[in-house]
Amino acid sequence: MLLEIMDKSHWLLKSEPETFSIAHLRSVPKQTTCWDGVRNYQARNFLRDKIKVRDEAFFYHSNANPPGIAGIVKVVKSGYPDPTQFDPKSQYYDKTASRDEPRWYSVDIKLERVFPTLISLEELKTCKSLKDMALLQRSRLSVQPVTSSEWDFILNRFSTG
């Protein structure tokens, strides 16, 4: 099957830990959750079109003290319409979206690893090899690609248990 010979892609997913941290993810059933609430078109396109089952992602704590990469998750379900866009009670409700024409997408992710210590943004910034990383260049994108070399570099450079 084609999927088996395709390389995994790597991503970085941001979450504010006050809202949903890696500790929250560890405590939910099956350590699996719907990655919902993304309301940016470029991020949406990655969720809808590019992120595949078996891909891995860094779980990044944004708006945190300190901000940084807290662990790794894997994708267990690829893009499908974000259910919160249809829910009037959700803070992510979007009245312009319909089930026939969904506007926003989610994937399901499962916890793979919590790093024993956070890899802080400050440390990432000191690495010349990471100077082109989307996180350091286009800091506001909440779903962003990570190249294989960036992924490997980070796992090798930092003690991640």
Three-state secondary structure readout of 7-64: CCCEEEEEECCCCCCHHHHHHCHHHEEEECCCCCHHHHHHHHHHCCCCCEEEEEECCC
Q: Is the CB of 111 or the CB of 121 nearer to DNA?
A: 121
24 binds DNA per the rule CB under 7 A = no
Cross-strand partners of 33:
109
Compose the 96-115 pattern: x for residues touching DNA by CB under 7 A, - for all others: --------------------
Compose the 65-94 pattern: x for residues touching DNA by CB under 7 A, - for all others: --x---------------------------
Q: Is the CB of 4 or the CB of 65 nearer to DNA?
A: 65
Query: What span, in angstroms and rounded, lies between the C-alpha atoms of 53 and 74?
Result: 8
Compose the 30-59 pattern: x for residues touching DNA by CB under 7 A, - for all others: ---------xxxx-----------------
Q: How far is the CB of 5 from DNA (least distance, A)?
A: 33
> Which token pair is 82?
């974000």
Nearest to 145 by CA among 6, 75, 5, 43: 43
121 binds DNA per the rule CB under 7 A = yes
One residue of 24, 26, 131, 140 binding DNA per CB under 7 A: 140
